[in-house]
Amino acid sequence: MEKQEYLFIHHFNTQKMKNIYKLLTLVLTLTIVTSCDRDQGEYPYLDNREVTIGFRGAEGTILVENGADNMLSAIVGASTVVPSGSYSVSVDGTSTAVLGVDYDFVSGTDGSFESGNILSSISIVADFANSTSDGKTIVLNLISNDPSLSVAEAFSQYTINLIQFCESDIAGMYSMTTTYGFHDFLPTYDTNTQEIEIVELGEGSYSIADFTGGLYSVGPYSSSYGTGPTYAEITENCDLISWSGQSDEYGAMIPTPGGANSVDSNGVITINWTCEGYGEYGTSIYTPL
């Protein structure tokens, strides 16, 4: 092959390869641009298509604390991307919390899905002053406001528990004065004062080694009946004292009906107890040492 012919062929092949390379580069560039193009939130293929919605989960809990935001959002989910649509919630009659007293809706009872989303929410805020350690409930029912949104029966209700919660710190040494309302030896030994330690067992849980104030340990029951200290375990939450499942040697020890069981602003604890076996009862005042 002559040199001139070789150069012509070589130039032709080189030019052909350059054109192919440019074409491939253009295709690749278009692919990248297309794949990275920002989602505009338009879903025409979903128009007039029914979407199922429901609460995400069955219940949630707010531990209502003094000074905290005490908010919770009930999440509403959709079965697929929602082009648009609105819903609302109603308060079920089985709720024990009162709207406007125990809680409020942050932005009303209506909600909506923004285009391209599958999640939305309704938020409530709880009131600490009206909360209780026993708890109250809000039961929400989900309602569709849009013919394109269908509420799933199994996920149409959501329960929010409102439980008052405080940091507990009553462990320590106390001077315990007990005044007795009834026992076998009254009017002898009508009151007794002794030092006692309240021992922390865990968050909000405590033990007291001689719950009835000495009646069974150093009082007349000890010498006459051979009894010993009445150990008990209590809980404290937001200045309220409670207990269950405690007993002396003859039966259950329960909170005296109608009696105060609380902690005042000075840390003084009042406990009213009753022994169901033979009816002993008294009031024990714990003053911090």
Give the SS3 label for residue 77: strand
CA separation (Å) from 238 to 44, 102, 117, 167, 282? 55, 16, 41, 7, 23
Between CA 181 and CA 258 the distance in angstroms is 14
Is 250 in contact with 263 (CB distance < 8 Å)? no
pTM as predicted: 0.63
Q: List the Cα angle 126/128/134 in 5-degree steps.
A: 90
User: pLDDT tens per residue, the chain (289 residues)?
Assistant: 443 444 334 444 444 444 444 333 333 333 333 343 334 445 454 455 679 999 999 999 999 999 899 999 999 999 998 888 899 999 999 999 999 999 999 999 999 998 888 999 999 999 999 999 889 999 999 999 998 899 999 999 999 999 999 889 999 999 999 999 999 999 999 999 999 999 999 989 999 999 999 999 999 999 999 999 999 999 999 899 999 999 999 999 999 999 999 999 999 999 999 999 999 999 999 999 9
Q: Which two tokens stand for residue 97?
A: 């919390």
**Count of beta carbons in the 10 Å neighbourhood of residue 200:** 15
- Give strand pairing partners of 52: 150
Which amino acid is present at 271?
I
Q: Residue 20: is it exposed, middle or buried by C-beta count within 10 angstroms (0-12/13-18/19+)? A: exposed
245 is written with which tokens?
């499942």
Q: How many residues does the chain have?
A: 289
CA distance 120 to 127: 24
Tokens 């406990």 belong to residue: 271
Query: Is the Cβ–Cβ distance between 177 and 89 less than 8 Å?
Result: no
Domains in the chain, CATH or no CATH each: 46-164 (2.60.40.1510), 172-288 (2.40.128)
Q: What is the pLDDT of residue 48?
A: 55
Q: What's the pLDDT score for residue 204?
A: 92
Q: What is the DSSP string of 125-183?
A: EE-STT--SS-EEEEEEEEE-STTEEE-GGGSEEEEEEEE-------EEEEEEEEEEE-
89 and 122 in contact (C-beta within 8 Å)?
A: yes
